Chains A and B, each alone.
Chain A
Amino acid sequence: MTEVTGTTWNVYDANTLTQAEIYGRVLCDLAEADPRIVALTADLAKSTKIGVFQEKFPHRVFNVGIAEQNLFGIAAGMARSGLLPFVSTMSAFASMRALEQVRTDICYQNLDVKIIATHGGVSFGQAGTTHHCTEDIAIQRSLANMTLIVPADGWETANAVRASVKHPGPVYIRLGRGFEPTHYENDEYGFELGKAVTISEDTDITVIACGVAVYHAAEAAKLLKDQDGISVRVLDMHTIKPIDEEAILKAVLETRRILCVEEHNVVGGLGSAVADVIAASGKGCAFAKSGLPDCYSEVGYPEDLYSHYCIDGDGIVGLVRELLHREFEADEDWEDEF
């Protein structure tokens, strides 16, 4: 099998294409080199942007109709037959409607099925709460054998899709709807599955983010540096499972203040995964989670919803300022030692 690296389209495209469009193009590149790759959809080929794959490999695309449970069951069978299925549908359907098939047909057998879940979080804005998905990180990370990736932008999506081919077993890649801002300038920034990307190695506080929150966290860090002189470490925790324990504990020990930001319910998501690591380590720190506060999402433009749930730059700035002033050590003692 030929190694596929880089992208075959130009930089202008990468900055304007949505995450899902980039997924479609990367999949084409990968499929050129790997005949095992097939694409499956449940009547959402257009929404999930695999049209380009369909044009190029019409005999390797399978539309099962609006039948997500069948979609994943068929994918499991194809994987058992030696194919490498990439299944794309909206995250609400991939993680909830077809959960039993994902769990029992795919994860239980540890099959090589890659799930591309689009429209994650509240990115589908006006489509409403039924089409939002603010529970999938919690659900997917609880499935044994599952690898869970939440890319920050299109470039990271390209890296995640490529990494998933090399990674055996089921992989869930959570994307937005599109139109999300791009954080990275290209795909050569050292992406490694299971290893967080340290965007800035500062020491006052750490913001751990995934998905679209990475861009906003990086913007907030710039603003805090300029306005308050606060140095914020930003970690792009693209892989939620297996999570980068080393980066988390390093941040705890070196900054002692951790803010997790995600486009997800604060219960069970990135923040909970990070909290698990910290609690197990026995190390103390001031800690906060930002996301949907255990509620069903409001309906509106994604940008307004990000602002409402403090996932955007201004919201993160406010949370950082708040967390910096929180007392967290019972033995706070400001007497000079001698």
Chain B
Amino acid sequence: MAVATATPPNDLPQARTREFLRARLFLRAALPCVKVMLEDDPATARRFKHVDAVVQFVAKNQPRAVGAYLWFENGTVRTEQGFWDADGLGKEPDITFTFGSLAKLCDFFAGKTVLPSIRGYNHPALLAKVLQLLLSLKLMLPSAQPTDPAKRQLKLKLTLYMITTALSQYNKGGDPGMQRWTAKQPDRIYQFSVEPEGIAAYLRVRGGQTKAGRGVYTRRRPFVHMRFNGVEGALAVMNKDVEFVEGVGKGMVRIDGSPEYAANLNDFMMRVQALLTEG
């Protein structure tokens, strides 16, 4: 496996750096959400129950390509960064999606119409399942408004998982503002939770490092805790149907902890969302 992840060289112009950062968020924060689909959506889980395959996504890029792959095994899936180059992955991808540029890869994951070249038409059943799985990620888009309560809950879970990971990757990917913000902080937990459904995710920050985690962090009290009052209120706030401050006023979300840092975090969430949906 070649280690060619979405980390830009140091001397890239700002626009290219932003492109790398955007690709990083899709490959490391959005794409891994397929795991949640397999775990929480019974229909998807059934489809992949006996699938044993590797599906790769590669963007042509200078000086070298950028990619990630999904590895399906015994009804589970994991996301790895890099791409197969015949000497490392150990298993040649069954399907490869190749994009002409990083921008096209990003647009594809942002739900825009992009046609990659696909190698693996000899696995039509697998290809159909994978395309269906990728399409299901569109559930995270603000425009997706399912009516089924289970789907709405799944949408919220995907969104929370994705946004916390995206925030962490935004920092790890080198956004200067985010790095300045995290650098001066001691060990802090920014917790998101939805009650009574029990959906939760967190972002841990310490001295410039970040980590996104699932569930409630139990090793210390959150520095900021955004408590959403039910799925509907949470979706309204996360989708920006309701402004954050308005959501607080309406009791859709309650902030425990530092209001200043909660506002900072909300600003970064908006910047991450703007990056993901731009273009």
Within 8 A of A (CB), among B187-233: 187-188, 207, 209-214, 219-223
Given contacts A256-B187, A336-B165, contact A204 B223 (CB under 8 A): yes
Across chains A and B, the number of contacting residue pairs, with CB separation under 8 Å, is 58
Interface centre among B168, B214, B221, B222 (most CB of A within 10 A): B221
Whether a CB of chain B sits under 8 angstroms from the CB of A3 is no
A92-100, A124-132, A223-231, A270-278: which lies at the interface: A223-231
Whether a CB of chain B sits under 8 angstroms from the CB of A257 is yes
A336 surroundings in chain B (CB, below 8 A)? 28-29, 165, 168-169, 211-213
Write the A239-265 contact mask toward B (1 if CB under 8 angstroms, else 0). 000000000000001111100000000
Whether a CB of chain B sits under 8 angstroms from the CB of A325 is yes
Q: How large is the interface on A (under 10, 10 to 19, 20 to 34, 35 or more residues)?
A: 20 to 34
CB of A203 within 8 A of CB of B219, answer no
Q: How large is the interface on B (under 10, 10 to 19, 20 to 34, 35 or more residues)?
A: 20 to 34
CB of B186 within 8 A of CB of A205, answer yes
Whether a CB of chain A sits under 8 angstroms from the CB of B111 is no
DSSP class of B's interface residues: helix, strand, loop or mixed? mixed
A203 surroundings in chain B (CB, below 8 A)? 188, 220-223, 257
CB of B161 within 8 A of CB of A338, answer yes
Given contacts A231-B223, A337-B214, contact A204 B187 (CB under 8 A): yes
CB of A253 within 8 A of CB of B28, answer no
B212 surroundings in chain A (CB, below 8 A)? 336-337
Whether a CB of chain B sits under 8 angstroms from the CB of A55 is no
Whether a CB of chain B sits under 8 angstroms from the CB of A13 is no
Cα-based distance from A336 to B186 in the complex (angstroms): 18
Q: Could you tell me the distance in whole angstroms from the C-beta of A214 to the nearest C-beta in chain B?
A: 22
Contact of A334 among B210, B223, B258 (CB under 8 A): B210
CB of A337 within 8 A of CB of B219, answer no
Q: Could you tell me the distance in whole angstroms from the C-beta of B88 to the nearest C-beta in chain A?
A: 20
Contact of B219 among A230, A256, A333, A334 (CB under 8 A): A256
Cα-based distance from A337 to B79 in the complex (angstroms): 11
Given contacts A205-B186, A256-B187, contact A334 B220 (CB under 8 A): no
CB of B211 within 8 A of CB of A335, answer yes
The residue in chain A whose Cβ has the minimal distance to the Cβ of B189 is A203
CB of B168 within 8 A of CB of A324, answer no
Given contacts A203-B188, A230-B186, contact A338 B220 (CB under 8 A): no
Cα-based distance from A337 to B213 in the complex (angstroms): 5
A204 surroundings in chain B (CB, below 8 A)? 186-188, 223
Subset of 7 A-B contacts with CB under 8 Å: A203-B222, A203-B223, A203-B257, A230-B186, A324-B187, A336-B168, A337-B165
